[in-house]
């Protein structure tokens, strides 16, 4: 009997099966339930007979009992919607088999067996983009976290490592290029030449989530890299014909990554071949499959006509990230998905350090903190808060979060700060040496850090188990010649974690002599109790406190500081991050005060005057480079301002923020225009000076748009018309898109017509309109939904319209609730097509508890409407129930 499609219940009654196996609440998986898998799979042989609509997969697994696991009479082979064509054990009928939901259980009574499993799949019908799927006529895979089970029945868990050999065959004309992990060991073609095949072998044992295969009509940019040990590695970046000219930056970034990882972390590449393939339908940014990284085209393709400076930086960062995974993720992988931050937090830190070394370190740090505070802090203070090492999940795809990635990186960065760079390197060397070839845990990492650095990290482990952003109150007092810094921490309650313990928080601190404008050295203080006092001698006057320099800890600080002190720090602090922070605090303090009605008119006026003076000093400071100047001139985001308030009124914040922009644009008008004119003289190049000049130009335009819209429209239109690069063109169009002017319509049309064949640029066109400050933005997005280029099946396009919109407070938080309804409609429509992407829109609605009453009720309604849908994916179900909970 073919039992593949027959759901079985424990009592074997198929009638009951639907009710039992399509539960409303998918089961919760708990970290504490981890047990080693009872079977080892030393080798895996896969044969793919490839076709877009029908691919036949023959898997041969050599299995043997795992000596360190509990004995089991069966082996659980995970499946997800698979059609089982045949199954044999040691060449014959297995002793027993049954389906448990989508999984296949096979009875195995001996110590060693060979299982042969044949499945048939339809890649063209795979709109979830997990497993094997078709994208623009090619076939590719995405297996992390649990996609391999959509290809064949397999123990699809990261602690089962196997050595893979793979044969792929298919029509030569349709799939001229056949790629897999590892090295190509053989190839050939059928007698009539219509079909061809390739045989691949990956010598490194790996978990199934790192498996990858690509078949298609692709062309490559090829190059090579000689490793520090003298290995010549062939490098290829595969793209579709016509895109080759846009791969140079990706290839150069790859070579820089390889060199940097040798120099900074002592990590050498371990195969003779490294392939990157770009695909246009992809759920995430990229994937680190062993020797065959698969990338979203967004993180590969760039030329100056079509990609912005931000795109260039993004490509370098993501290429680095995936490459660095070869050690932090592949050579040392994760025992289970609760340990995801082991590879992701560490690899994000590695890519951040790499990008900092390739460009401006302080600017990179500020950008990283902006992402953390813009995305992770709200996550940590909302219903979806979880520790960097979660305790449970229903759908692991929901845990590829800013917490696991970005806070995870901050946690490791704190260890580096406390240990110092040299000792940190001893820790990472030990970690790689000790766990090479293993599936490890976060605990293993921390222990290697302790042993390698000599730090005692006992209490520090709380950073792995406790969710929530610590709040630290800092007050500085002065008596005689002694300054006393009092620090008090609270870690807020989060879902499932009502009570928290104090955590060790490392602060880089300096005390400035207000008159001399200098300090006598930075210190590292570790606050490891609820409250502590630190004293500093030798201060005749009260010094000015500079704390959390370099953002040494991912916490929010409430410091008792005067405006005058912030102005001082914004102008004088020698730590660029602290200087940025002072500037942000000046503006945020004013905006929060103004929205809360705490400031009377004269206080408001004085505050705006101080901010304008501080900005003017930044504009005129000729010691600053423009990239850094741009950071100092940037206003805090709406969401960051909202985050400072217990309950936020997005409408009021928007009005206050725009009003401040208008005021500053007016007060600084001339100085800003002089800055613009200077920046406009800098000819195009990709160096820091020219990048800085472009950043400044668009910033000035956005201040001008608020203070003098007619002039801004004219200036932006002229920047657009004369642009010789995408940064200038997009910056100008972004400003125009928010203005109700004739220039807007003409340039938007021009942009579309100019780039209509280029999907990544058309994505920008959608995003620019969806994130604009235009009062009709909701109507614009509704209209764009019906544009012929809109396509729900392409995640980049969906994100370009709707992620941009969900992040646009003026649209998403429209007072009548139209924005919330639009996102709920999208989630419902997208969920059956691409659950992973749909679920990513839920957190924006999940912020309702922190939003004023009227809007909160409408956000809740939107969530409840999603929850009432008769059938929801595991992904969306989990996010919606947690958000309502
Ligand atoms: N490991 C990848 C992220 C990733 C995760 C899941 C995916 O499935 C759709 C794809 C990519 C990284 O950190 O880059
Ligand atoms: Zn990663």
Residue owning the nearest CA to atom 2 of ligand 1? 287
Question: Which tokens in the block code for residue 780?
Answer: 């614009």
Give the position, in ligand 1's atom list, of the atom nearest the Cα of 321.
14
**Is residue 467 lining ligand 1, measured as CB closer than 6 Å?**
no
**Is residue 82 lining ligand 1, measured as CB closer than 6 Å?**
no
| Interstrand relation of 213-216 and 177-180 (parallel, antiparallel or unpaired) | antiparallel
Dihedrals phi, psi of 26, to nearest 5 degrees = -65, 155
Distance 285 CA to ligand 1 centre (A): 7
Q: Write out the E strands in 517-671.
A: 518-519, 523-527, 531-537, 544-546, 556-559
**pLDDT average, residue stretch 292-311:** 99
**Is residue 284 lining ligand 1, measured as CB closer than 6 Å?**
yes
Ligand nearest to the CA of 351: 2
Ligand nearest to the CA of 400: 1
Distance 238 CA to ligand 2 centre (A): 20
Compute the distance between CA of residue 612 and CA of residue 865 in angstroms, rounded to an integer: 46
Pocket test for ligand 1, best of 284, 349, 396 (most atoms within 8 A of CB): 284
Query: What value does the mean pLDDT of the chain take?
Result: 96
The predicted structure's pLDDT at residue 23 = 43
Q: Is 103 helix (H, G, I), strand (E, B) or coil?
A: strand
Q: Contacts from 439-444 at CB under 8 Å and sequence distance 24+? A: 439/158, 439/159, 439/161, 439/207, 439/333, 439/334, 439/335, 439/336, 440/332, 440/333, 440/334, 440/335, 440/339, 440/342, 441/334, 441/335, 441/339, 441/342, 442/339, 442/341, 442/342, 442/388, 442/389, 444/342
The predicted structure's pLDDT at residue 5 = 32
Query: Interhelix angle for 742-755 vs 759-770, to 10°?
Result: 160
What pLDDT, in 10s, does the model give residues 718-748? Answer: 999 999 999 999 999 999 999 999 999 999 9
The predicted structure's pLDDT at residue 15 = 36
Angle at the Cα of 679 (from 675 to 685), degrees rounded to 5? 160
Compute the distance between CA of residue 346 and CA of residue 737 in angstroms, rounded to an integer: 39
Compute the distance between CA of residue 19 and CA of residue 408 in angstroms, rounded to an integer: 39
User: Tokens 């929010």 correspond to what residue?
Assistant: 556
User: Tokens 């003017």 correspond to what residue?
Assistant: 616
Residue owning the nearest CA to atom 4 of ligand 1? 287
What pLDDT, in 10s, does the model give residues 782-816? Answer: 999 999 999 999 999 999 999 999 999 999 999 99
pLDDT band at 10 (very low <50, low <70, confident <90, very high): very low
Compute the distance between CA of residue 87 and CA of residue 102 in angstroms, rounded to an integer: 15
**Is residue 55 lining ligand 1, measured as CB closer than 6 Å?**
no
Alpha-carbon torsion, ordered 340, 342, 345, 350, to 10 deg: -130
Question: Which tokens in the block code for residue 385?
Answer: 């808060």
Residue 13 pLDDT greater than 60, yes or no: no
**Is residue 552 lining ligand 1, measured as CB closer than 6 Å?**
no
Give the position, in ligand 1's atom list, of the atom nearest the Cα of 322.
14
> What H or E segment, with its residue span, contains residue 76?
strand 74-77
Q: Is 147 helix (H, G, I), strand (E, B) or coil?
A: coil
Dihedrals phi, psi of 253, to nearest 5 degrees = -65, -40
pLDDT band at 192 (very low <50, low <70, confident <90, very high): very high
- Give Cβ neighbours of residue 756 (< 8 Å, ≥ 6 apart): 762, 789
- pLDDT > 70: percent of the chain: 97
The predicted structure's pLDDT at residue 621 = 97
Question: Which tokens in the block code for residue 723?
Answer: 């642009």
Pocket test for ligand 1, best of 348, 400, 835 (most atoms within 8 A of CB): 400
**pLDDT average, residue stretch 516-526:** 97
Query: What are the residue numbers of the active site?
Result: 322
CA distances from 56 to 59, 92, 98, 121 (A): 10, 20, 22, 7
- Residue 168 CA, chain-centre distance (Å), reads 32
Question: Which tokens in the block code for residue 528?
Answer: 């490891």
User: Tokens 């909701």 correspond to what residue?
Assistant: 778
The predicted structure's pLDDT at residue 14 = 36
Domains of the chain: 42-65+72-217 (2.60.40.1730), 332-465 (1.10.390.10), 471-553 (2.60.40.1840)
Dihedrals phi, psi of 25, to nearest 5 degrees = -105, 115
- Specify burial of residue 443 (Cβ count, 10 A radius: 0-12, 13-18, 19+): middle
Give the position, in ligand 1's atom list, of the atom nearest the Cα of 347.
13
Sheet hosting strand 232-240, strand order edge to edge: 218-226, 232-240, 273-279, 292-296, 286-287
Ligand nearest to the CA of 318: 1
The predicted structure's pLDDT at residue 20 = 36
**Is residue 142 lining ligand 1, measured as CB closer than 6 Å?**
yes
CA distances from 850 to 400, 638, 847 (A): 23, 13, 6
The predicted structure's pLDDT at residue 445 = 99
**Is residue 875 lining ligand 1, measured as CB closer than 6 Å?**
no
Distance 712 CA to ligand 1 centre (A): 41
Ligand nearest to the CA of 328: 2
Neighbours of 212 (CB within 10 A): 27
**Is residue 395 lining ligand 1, measured as CB closer than 6 Å?**
no
Give the position, in ligand 1's atom list, of the atom nearest the Cα of 282.
9
- Give Cβ neighbours of residue 300 (< 8 Å, ≥ 6 apart): 237, 239, 246, 247, 250, 276, 278, 315, 319
CA distances from 500 to 262, 464, 529, 530, 562 (A): 40, 13, 12, 10, 31
DSSP bridge pairs for 98: 105
SS (H, E, C) 662-728: HHHHHHCHHHHHHHHHHHHCCCCCCCHHHHHHHHHHHHHHHHHHHHCHHHHHHHHHHHHHHCCCHHH
Distance 145 CA to ligand 2 centre (A): 11
Compute the distance between CA of residue 52 and CA of residue 434 in angstroms, rounded to an integer: 43
Compute the distance between CA of residue 386 and CA of residue 857 in angstroms, rounded to an integer: 25
- Give Cβ neighbours of residue 578 (< 8 Å, ≥ 6 apart): 510, 546, 547, 548, 549, 550, 569
Give the position, in ligand 1's atom list, of the atom nearest the Cα of 400.
5
Q: What is the end-to-end Cα distance of the chain in Å, rounded?
A: 44
Residue 424 pLDDT greater than 50, yes or no: yes
Pocket test for ligand 1, best of 144, 329, 349 (most atoms within 8 A of CB): 144
**Is residue 286 lining ligand 1, measured as CB closer than 6 Å?**
yes
pLDDT band at 395 (very low <50, low <70, confident <90, very high): very high
**pLDDT average, residue stretch 443-463:** 99
Distance 143 CA to ligand 2 centre (A): 13
Ligand nearest to the CA of 144: 1
Give the position, in ligand 1's atom list, of the atom nearest the Cα of 344.
13
Compute the distance between CA of residue 340 and CA of residue 525 in angstroms, rounded to an integer: 30
Give the position, in ligand 1's atom list, of the atom nearest the Cα of 143.
8
| Omega prior to 597 cis, within 30 of 0 | no
Q: What is the pTM of this model?
A: 0.97
Distance 700 CA to ligand 2 centre (A): 35
Distance 323 CA to ligand 2 centre (A): 9
Query: Interhelix angle for 726-737 vs 742-755, to 10°?
Result: 140
- Specify burial of residue 120 (Cβ count, 10 A radius: 0-12, 13-18, 19+): middle
Q: How would you label 837-873 residue by residue, b for 16+ Cβ within 10 Å and e otherwise?
A: bbbbbbbbbbbbebbbeebeebbbbbbebbeebeebb
The predicted structure's pLDDT at residue 612 = 98
Give the position, in ligand 1's atom list, of the atom nearest the Cα of 836.
9
- Give Cβ neighbours of residue 311 (< 8 Å, ≥ 6 apart): 298, 302, 726
Nearest of 160, 148, 181, 202 to residue 41 by alpha carbon: 160
Compute the distance between CA of residue 209 and CA of residue 332 in angstroms, rounded to an integer: 13
User: Tokens 């301002």 correspond to what residue?
Assistant: 641
**Is residue 400 lining ligand 1, measured as CB closer than 6 Å?**
yes
**Is residue 344 lining ligand 1, measured as CB closer than 6 Å?**
yes
**Is residue 288 lining ligand 1, measured as CB closer than 6 Å?**
yes
Compute the distance between CA of residue 594 and CA of residue 653 in angstroms, rounded to an integer: 9
What sign for the dihedral angle of Cα 621, 624, 627, 628? Answer: negative
The predicted structure's pLDDT at residue 18 = 40
Residue 205 pLDDT greater than 70, yes or no: yes
Compute the distance between CA of residue 770 and CA of residue 767 in angstroms, rounded to an integer: 5
Give the position, in ligand 1's atom list, of the atom nearest the Cα of 283.
9
Residue owning the nearest CA to atom 12 of ligand 1? 287
Distance 829 CA to ligand 1 centre (A): 23
Q: Is 533 helix (H, G, I), strand (E, B) or coil?
A: strand
pLDDT band at 9 (very low <50, low <70, confident <90, very high): very low
Residue owning the nearest CA to atom 3 of ligand 1? 287
Compute the distance between CA of residue 581 and CA of residue 547 in angstroms, rounded to an integer: 10
Distance 132 CA to ligand 1 centre (A): 15
Compute the distance between CA of residue 453 and CA of residue 423 in angstroms, rounded to an integer: 5
Distance 280 CA to ligand 1 centre (A): 15
Nearest of 64, 69, 55 to residue 162 by alpha carbon: 64
**Is residue 287 lining ligand 1, measured as CB closer than 6 Å?**
yes
**pLDDT average, residue stretch 754-758:** 97
- Specify burial of residue 634 (Cβ count, 10 A radius: 0-12, 13-18, 19+): middle
Compute the distance between CA of residue 176 and CA of residue 409 in angstroms, rounded to an integer: 40
**Is residue 281 lining ligand 1, measured as CB closer than 6 Å?**
no
- Give Cβ neighbours of residue 788 (< 8 Å, ≥ 6 apart): none
Residue owning the nearest CA to atom 13 of ligand 1? 344
Residue 4 pLDDT greater than 50, yes or no: no
- Please tell me the number of Cα atoms within 13 Å of 46 on its side-chain side: 28
Ligand nearest to the CA of 343: 2
Compute the distance between CA of residue 403 and CA of residue 676 in angstroms, rounded to an integer: 38
How large is the ipTM?
0.99
pLDDT band at 3 (very low <50, low <70, confident <90, very high): very low
The predicted structure's pLDDT at residue 230 = 98
Compute the distance between CA of residue 323 and CA of residue 287 in angstroms, rounded to an integer: 10
Distance 560 CA to ligand 2 centre (A): 38
């Amino acid at each position: 009997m073919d039992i593949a499609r027959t759901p079985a219940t424990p009592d074997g009654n198929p009638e009951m099966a639907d009710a039992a196996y399509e539960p409303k609440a998918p089961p919760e998986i708990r970290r504490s339930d981890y047990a080693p898998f009872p079977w080892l799979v030393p080798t895996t042989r896969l044969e793919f007979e490839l076709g877009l609509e029908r691919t036949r997969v023959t898997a041969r697994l050599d299995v043997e009992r795992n000596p360190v696991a509990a004995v089991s009479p069966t082996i659980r082979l995970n499946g997800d919607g698979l059609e089982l064509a045949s199954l044999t054990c040691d060449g014959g009928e297995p002793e027993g088999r049954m389906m448990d939901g989508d999984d296949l259980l096979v009875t195995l009574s001996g110590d060693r067996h060979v299982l042969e499993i044949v499945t048939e799949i339809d890649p063209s019908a795979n709109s979830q983009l997990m497993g094997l799927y078709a994208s623009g006529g090619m076939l590719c895979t995405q297996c992390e976290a649990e996609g391999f089970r959509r290809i064949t029945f397999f123990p699809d868990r990261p602690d089962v490592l196997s050595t893979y050999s793979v044969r792929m065959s298919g029509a030569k004309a349709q799939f001229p290029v056949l790629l897999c992990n590892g090295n190509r060991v053989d190839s050939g073609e059928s007698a009539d030449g219509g079909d061809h095949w390739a045989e691949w072998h990956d010598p490194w044992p790996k978990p199934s989530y790192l498996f990858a295969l690509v078949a298609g009509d692709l062309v490559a940019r090829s190059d090579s890299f000689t490793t520090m040990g003298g290995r010549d590695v062939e490098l290829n970046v595969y793209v579709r014909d016509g895109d080759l000219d846009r791969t140079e930056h990706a290839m150069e970034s790859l070579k820089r990554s390889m060199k940097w990882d040798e120099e900074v972390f002592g990590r050498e590449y371990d195969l003779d071949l490294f392939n990157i393939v770009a695909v246009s339908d992809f759920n995430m940014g990229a994937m680190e499959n062993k020797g065959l990284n698969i990338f979203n085209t967004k993180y590969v393709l760039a030329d100056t006509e079509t990609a912005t400076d931000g795109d260039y930086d993004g490509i370098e960062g993501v290429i680095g990230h995936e490459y660095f995974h070869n050690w932090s993720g592949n050579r040392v992988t994760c025992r289970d998905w609760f340990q995801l931050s082991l590879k992701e937090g560490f690899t994000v830190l590695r890519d951040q350090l790499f990008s900092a070394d390739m460009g401006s370190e302080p600017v990179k740090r500020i950008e990283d903190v902006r992402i953390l505070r813009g995305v992770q802090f709200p996550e940590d203070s909302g219903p979806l808060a979880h520790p960097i090492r979660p305790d449970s999940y229903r759908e692991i795809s929901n845990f590829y979060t800013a917490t696991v990635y970005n806070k995870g990186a901050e946690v490791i960065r704190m260890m580096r700060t406390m240990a110092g760079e040299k000792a940190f390197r001893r820790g990472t060397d030990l970690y790689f040496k000790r766990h090479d070839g293993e599936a490890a845990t976060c605990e293993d990492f921390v222990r290697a850090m302790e042993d390698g650095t000599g730090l005692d990290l006992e209490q520090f482990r709380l950073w792995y188990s406790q969710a929530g952003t610590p709040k630290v109150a800092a007050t500085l007092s002065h008596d005689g010649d002694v300054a006393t810094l009092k620090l008090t921490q609270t870690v807020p309650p989060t879902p499932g974690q009502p009570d928290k313990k104090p955590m060790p928080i490392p602060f880089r601190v300096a005390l400035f002599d207000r008159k001399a404008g200098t300090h006598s050295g930075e210190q590292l203080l570790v606050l490891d109790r609820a409250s502590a006092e630190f004293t500093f001698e030798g201060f005749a006057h009260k010094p000015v406190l500079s704390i959390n320099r370099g953002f040494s800890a991912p916490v929010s600080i409430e410091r008792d500081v005067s405006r005058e002190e912030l102005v001082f720090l914004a102008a004088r602090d020698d730590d660029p991050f602290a200087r940025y922070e002072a500037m942000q605090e000046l503006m945020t303090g004013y905006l929060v005060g103004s929205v809360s009605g705490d400031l009377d008119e004269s206080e408001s006026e004085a505050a705006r005057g101080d901010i304008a003076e501080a900005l003017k000093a930044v504009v005129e400071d000729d010691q600053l480079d423009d990239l850094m100047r741009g950071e100092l001139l940037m206003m805090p985001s709406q969401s960051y301002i909202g985050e400072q308030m217990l309950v936020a009124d997005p409408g009021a914040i928007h009005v206050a923020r725009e009003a401040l922009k208008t005021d500053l644009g007016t007060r600084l008008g001339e100085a800003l225009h002089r800055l613009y004119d200077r920046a406009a003289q800098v000819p195009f190049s990709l160096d820091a000076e020219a990048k800085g000049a472009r950043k400044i130009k668009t910033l000035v335009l956005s201040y001008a748009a608020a203070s003098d819209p007619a002039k801004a429209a004219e200036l932006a239109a002229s920047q657009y018309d004369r642009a010789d690069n995408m940064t200038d063109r997009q910056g100008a169009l972004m400003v125009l898109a928010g203005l109700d002017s004739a220039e807007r319509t003409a340039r938007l049309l021009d942009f579309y017509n100019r780039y209509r064949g280029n999907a990544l640029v058309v994505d920008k066109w959608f995003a620019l309109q969806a994130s604009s400050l235009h009062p009709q933005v909701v109507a614009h997005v509704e209209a764009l939904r019906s544009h012929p280029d809109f396509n729900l099946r392409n995640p980049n396009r969906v994100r370009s319209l709707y992620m941009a919109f969900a992040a646009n407070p003026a649209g998403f938080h429209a007072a009548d609730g139209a924005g919330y309804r639009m996102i709920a409609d999208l989630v419902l429509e997208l969920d059956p097509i691409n659950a992973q992407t749909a679920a990513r829109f839920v957190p924006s609605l999940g912020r309702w508890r922190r939003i004023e009453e009227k809007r909160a009720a409408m956000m809740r309604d939107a969530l409840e409407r999603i929850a009432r849908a008769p059938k929801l994916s595991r992904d969306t179900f989990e996010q919606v129930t947690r958000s309502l909970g």
